[in-house]
Amino acid sequence: MTRLIVIAAAGLLSACGQPEVCDDAPTVTWDNFGRGFTTQNCQACHASESVDRNGAPPDITFDSEEALLEHIDLVLDEATGDSPTMPPQGGVEEDDRYRLEVMLRCGG
């Protein structure tokens, strides 16, 4: 199955609320992906000690896995899917957005 089919299937299944979205997904965890992803793509604005948060709300920080998971619905809405808006500067590969979604939905 190609990656696009897997991504499409993941979106369809998650919309239906079925857990099969995780059956064939790669193992994605905070340690093997999430920490690096948030450091590279989110921390400039969403670190608690960021000097210039560029308008990011002060209560939305991603300093740890627990902090990220507190905002799981917001992250899924803003950073994954067909029309992601975060990070605003773009530059995130589709594969990385897919891995982020897998990590958040499947609890890697």
How many domains, the chain? 1
3-state SS assignment for residue 54:
coil
More confident residue, 65 or 1: 65
pLDDT per position as a tens digit, 18-74: 347 688 899 999 999 999 999 999 999 999 999 899 999 999 999 999 999 999 999
pLDDT at 80 (0 to 100): 93
Which residue in 47, 48, 1, 19 sits closest to 107, CA to CA?
Answer: 19
Structure token pair of residue 79 = 């950073």
3-state SS assignment for residue 80:
coil
pLDDT at 23 (0 to 100): 83
Cα–chain center distance at 69: 10
pLDDT at 8 (0 to 100): 44
Is the confidence at residue 96, as pLDDT, over 80? Answer: yes
pLDDT at 17 (0 to 100): 53
Alpha-carbon torsion, ordered 41, 43, 46, 51, to 10 deg: -130
Range of the domain at 41: 3-106
- Please name the residue ranges forming H helices in the chain: 3-16, 35-41, 43-46, 65-69, 72-79, 94-106
pLDDT per position as a tens digit, 25-38: 999 999 999 999 99
Structure token pair of residue 4 = 């696009």
Interhelix angle 94-106/3-16, nearest 10 degrees: 40
Q: Quick one: average pLDDT of 63-90?
A: 95
Model confidence band, residue 107 (pLDDT cutoffs 50, 70, 90): confident
